[in-house]
A and B are shown apart, each in its own frame.
Chain A
Amino acid sequence: MSTIALDRYRQNYLNISYTAKSWLLSTDHKRIGILYMISITLFFFLGGIAAVLFRLELLTPQADLVKAETYNKLFTLHGVIMVWFFLIPSIPSVLGNFLIPLMIGAREVAFPRLNLVGWYLFMLGGLFTFVVLITGGVDTGWTFYTPYSSSFSNSAVVATIFGVFITGFSSIFTGLNFIVTIHKLRAPGMKWSRLPLFIWSHYATSLILVLATPVLAITLGLIAIERVFGVGIFDPALGGDPVLFEHFFWFYSHPAVYIMILPGMGVTSEIIAAFTRRRIFGYTFVAMASLAIAIIGFLVWGHHIFVGGQSAYASAVFSGLSYMVAIPSAVKVFNWTATLYKGSISFDTPMLYALGFIWLFTIGGLTGLFVASLAIDVHVHDTYFVIAHFHYIMVGASVMAYLGGIHYWWPKLSGRMYPEGWGRAAALLIFFGFNLTFFPQFLLGYMGMPRRYHVYAEEFQVLNVMSTAGASILAVGYLLPLAYLLWSLRTGSIAIPSPWGASGLEWQTGSPPPMENFEEIPIVTEEAYTYRPESS
């Protein structure tokens, strides 16, 4: 069709300029989203290589691949890179940046230059971390517990802290930008009650980004001050309290995990609606659940300290609150499943990822209740059970949501379709590899294998071998999308504005969108996810 052929040459945000300067100095939220996408992909593979190395080491109970010190640096860098340089920015900084203005009918975010500054801060922080990586590493664990990190470790703690500190500002500015954008730049008729659920979850995420990140900055900053000036803020030999560090650290880091899941929930809502051609069941409850998770999420940090010297009564309170924070998540799972009822369901790649998300998030979330249960946590704290729990959420859920979102919006981002056959194959491979990697770890943990061990008792070997086998399959699974998505940029079929027939303002403009997003700012008259009834 001639309109499609013309579409190819139509001016859009990608072809408007090809110079490096136009990319590196761009204040276009779409280009900044792409810049983030490239950077976090690099970090993902760095963190992934660390994981491959230590999973290989764990094939045998003895230390044969790397020595203890190296192993400790590997898992530390894996955690630092994956948490701060991949997961936290992933959906918000890539998909959030790209889509929020489009979804609300705006031309830009509220503070485009701040957005670009944010990316540079992210890269600067990443540079510090990369330098740490190649000059000897850091071995404190991503949790930096004191006094090991403040007085005992001989590794590049301060440099790593610097990197994380600087990158933290990228988080704060992103959150700030999103909140103002959502409040102030909605198109005429786009009432709060008409916002896509992706927007609601990013709004809730932004609240956490803005309020929790500064606490991390100060906490890590105090460790740096301890190391540089020899004071004893958290060192008991000098009058400090090491458990106080844990409280401060987890006051940020627990809400941080909600930064890592809420955006994925938003993506899932969008994909489920699109591929069932139905409004999400219980829209209001899902939107409010996002806010509830963000708020209650600030109140549960003590569940990381049940056996850490916290009073039993405080632990009891934190445990109860931790149960409460699971409830809004359960509401979402119920509502997504209910959306399938009387829908018109299509199993394209994004939908496979979204269904995988729901199921793996259910398992991950339920095991969260296991660790929230005081008596069980006494046994499984600091074992592979906890590792399995959080990887089910962070990888099984979050990463799959990220990949699902990348596939779903790939036509919008790139103007091309990805190859559907490869997409489904990769999704299934990832699902299978993931479960093989992490399910055995639940068993390992209950059997008693502690975390952060490079050597372990003989009886743990079988499950470790299974886990490493799964990891190798997972690694292949992750490489596939990298390959075929890049390949599709050249050879994928040209995308039409709305290839899935989904609702949402982002689909009412070209694929890819023009620089200014819309030729005319749309006027919204309908609720979100309004689909015409299908003929049966």
Chain B
Amino acid sequence: MAEARAPTLDRPELPELDQESISLGMWIFLASEVMFFGALFAAYIIYRNAYPQVFAEASRQLNVWIGGVNTGLLLTSSLTVALAVNAAQLGKRKLLIAFLLLTIVLGLIFLGLKGLEYSQEFEENLFPGRNFIYPGPEPEKARLFFSLYFTMTGLHALHMLAGLLTFSIIVLLAWRKKITQENYISVELAGLFWHFVDIVWIFLFPLLYLIGRT
């Protein structure tokens, strides 16, 4: 029995509505993501206000150099993403793939450095698990800082991973000539998501790394 399928994305009735629909859907999804990260930011800001000294001291334990380099990498990757979207718009397939690959490389370096940073922090017993040791005063409050730090950067890293995976899939699609000048919405939306991830980092970095260093 052949199923009469309701119109779906690959068989739209009114193509232009679908492009806008998906775009709107992504914006709404990003709104929910803002609330997601927003809750963590709120918790962080509230505790930072309650324990300014301890948080500043704990923040100084973070590796601001890695953090800084990562910020630069991420900002650059947003540029490469924008260039990729532009290439897709102009129908330049090879350029699109090149910029997407560049973005993925930059993202992977970010994650690699982040992993390095995490392992450094594990070694210094700063991960808020069983082996947490903190040299300064009020270790429980410092532990609070670190649990928020790991949660926020961890969640961010997961989102980056999701973004990089998406870009990899798009690279494959572009290679197989499935991305055209008429239909490059996947690139646009992945780009949108990546810019969001970037913006989250732009707030994360100063709040977590720079508060103790004036």
Which residues of A pack against B, CB within 8 Å? Answer: 11, 16-17, 22, 27-29, 107-108, 110-113, 172, 175-177, 179-180, 183-185, 210-215, 217-219, 221-222, 225, 229-233, 237-241, 244, 248, 251, 514-517
Contacts and interface: CB of A to CB of B under 8 A. Distances in A.
Interface in B177-197: none
Contacts, number: 126
B43 A176 contact: no
B6 A229 contact: no
Interface of B: 1, 3-8, 13, 17, 20-21, 24-25, 28-29, 31-33, 35-36, 38-40, 42-43, 46-47, 50-51, 128-130, 138, 140-141, 143-144, 146-148, 151
B43 A27 contact: no
A304 to B, nearest CB: 17
Tell me the dominant secondary structure on chain A's binding face.
helix
A217 B21 contact: no
Contacts of A221: 151
10 contacts: A22-B3, A107-B7, A108-B7, A176-B32, A180-B21, A210-B31, A215-B36, A231-B146, A239-B141, A251-B39
B32 to A, nearest CB: 5
Contact of A241 (B6, B50, B140): B50
A172 B143 CA distance: 32
A184 B144 contact: no
A110 B6 contact: no
Given A176-B28, A230-B130, A515 B3 contact: yes
A361 to B, nearest CB: 28
B143 A238 contact: yes
A27 B8 contact: yes
Q: Which of A17, A27, A110 has the most CB of B within 10 A?
A: A110
A112 B6 contact: yes
A239 B28 contact: no
Contacts of A113: 8
Contact of B20 (A179, A184, A225, A239): A184
B4 A244 contact: no
B148 to A, nearest CB: 8
A229 B129 contact: yes
A406 to B, nearest CB: 23
A319 B140 CA distance: 35
Given A107-B7, A185-B17, A218-B40, A17 B31 contact: no
Given A176-B29, A214-B32, A229-B129, A184 B21 contact: yes
